Amino acid sequence: MGQPEYKSWYKTARWQKHRAHHLALNPLCVMCAKEGRTKAANVADHTRRHRGDEVLFWDPANLQSLCYSHHNSDKQRIEKGGKARVAIGIDGWPLTGS
């Protein structure tokens, strides 16, 4: 049993161009921004899981910019039914609505 076909879409020139365009327009991590921090994004993340739906995969409105840290931790927790870590603001207090 191999990888789903859609996994190969991430290796295409079309995806690389789509990703680069999104990050050029939205260069900052949205989760960092909610925490009151400014950090460059390096991941064009699908906000809704596409599960091989091509229309949803290529929909620019289905992308958000994330840094590696948020993509590989909080976003993965959320997709598995959990919650993101409690974000702490620059003042040291927990942020609400994160």
- How many structural domains is the chain composed of? 1
- The answer to whether residue 97 sits within a structural domain is no
The answer to whether residue 31 sits within a structural domain is yes
pLDDT at 6: 87
Question: What is the chain's pLDDT, residue by residue, as a tens digit (98 residues)?
Answer: 567 788 999 999 999 999 999 999 999 999 999 889 999 999 999 999 898 999 999 999 999 999 998 888 766 666 655 555 655 565 655 565 54
Whether 92 maps to a domain, the answer reads: no
What pLDDT, on a 0 to 100 scale, did the predictor assign at position 24? 98
77: left (phi over 0), alpha (psi -120 to 50) or beta: alpha
Quick one: CA dihedral 47, 48, 51, 54, positive or negative? negative
Q: Is residue 88 part of a domain?
A: no
CB 37 within 8 A of CB 90: yes
Q: Would you say residue 4 lies in a domain?
A: no
Token output for 35: 């925490």
Q: What is the pLDDT of residue 98?
A: 42
Quote the pLDDT of residue 62.
95
Domain span including residue 45: 10-79
- The pLDDT of residue 17 is 98
Q: How far apart are CA 51 and CA 58, in angstroms?
A: 12
Instruction: Tell me, yes or no, whether 98 lies in a domain.
Output: no
